[in-house]
A and B are shown apart, each in its own frame.
Chain A
């Protein structure tokens, strides 16, 4: 069975790629993922905001209370050097490359114009095969227009592309007024891949303590419906590779995404929940299904049910509330 696919110009053995998660902080995990059959790994994100926060926090804690008592002018020793830049992340890229033979895709979340380009260059120098821009922020400013938000994305992409030669993908949220137009603009600005979609950690309210708490939930297969639709709509209409992420837990989920038009399917929650061997299980089930249904290769089925190729293109556009809802009847108490 030929499971090979191409993503960001990289030839991959299978479409099963591991998306950014804390699991990739450990080089041993990366090796285990490769052994289990991962065809590429996106490393956890380098957050510029976090680096800045660490610097501020450290400075604050080194200074805290030092003006209070003459007897103690400091409360901590000051080592010669604190490594508060991206050094650890860059070292990790190098270690990941050394430990594995599969492509390693770095992930970057900048928070300043200079940060995006400076870190992107360093990431390339550290040996990453590609770079995923994780443009992750919630535009809460009421004076910021949608057009300005979109321009920010395009400007970041262009700035990074001008500094690096490795392929660059953009991981996006679905929250744009006209997502199709946004995808087209990113494609034209030189994105080598679009990763659909980023899952934002949504805050929750704790009723007993009356506090707002970030509630980190693993995805469920239901989460794949949104990227499935947009991948099906974009397949064949943009040059950029398409990566499906969110809610891919089983081989059947991966198959659906591939048929919609994804070049790769990214796994995360299912591995956190079931462990790294789950990658091999999904690959085995994928092959079994394809053999049973007499497919020869991933490229054969890729996009076969995209909007362009499916029998009912309107199905991806219509909301179809009435039809969907009339299928239900009132539950009996």
Chain B
């Protein structure tokens, strides 16, 4: 009996102890972590080193300790250091803060333009390798220095990082070109022929206040940044990559001005190799048009106006696509992922093609076929100064 009681006692004591002693090892209370919300990487004068910037959410309102970085705005703290690698930079920064740096909630990685030109590939590695870095973090290239962007606060969202994610989410409702996440970037990098694209963020001055805006895409090759797409070229890119969900087509001709809303876009991209071994990409876009705005078009019948608008709409889209395609040939960077399309469709021929893709890319032809269907003219049929049809 005594022995059995002893065993019982032991069981009762040991079970809770195994829980309590083995548990808790990765227990982190919320007040022991610094939530990192943004990461910036800038070039330094030293060729080997980078300037690493962290944006940390300011949790405590009362704490204005000078220890946690001198450069502060309302809601976040900026830390910066120079180091060779990302992890060594984080380790250095860890010594500057009172709490554990918590990377899971990092919203954005921003490369300064200078660093982008030097190359970004080596630094993406750390973001893939580490457990606490997320693949769905957004990636940007800053026009200028990443540090300046992280310092700037937005009007509605005081921290850059939460603002930029909302901004990208908002644009995603129309076009997905501006949302490039670490995972997307990596898949573009590992594809043999594709030139990665990263959206550009830029600061613009508005009455002494700096505003952040997304402007175009940065094109990379293996080495680094090689060019930028402007607004029109970015639209072309978006058409070719099927990233538009809905958009407006602006038509500005002699007769008048109009905005067409295109939605329900159907898209088909077919790579072909013809008899002369020529590479052809045929792109087909079908969309539903709603007339959203009309100015001018005086003394024309409704039928004539709609016909003109559809015709012009096709031209506009075509122009945007061709501009973009020309740019890509000019840079000789296959950021439109045509190489991948051939790879998928003609895996056997691809073995030959890929070796001299750089030369062949210049020969690729793009044929477009655009079809627009007018489904609605909005709440009113005629423009205010259009003739009644009779």
Query: Does B associate with A?
Result: no
Q: Which residues of B contact A (CB under 8 A)?
A: none
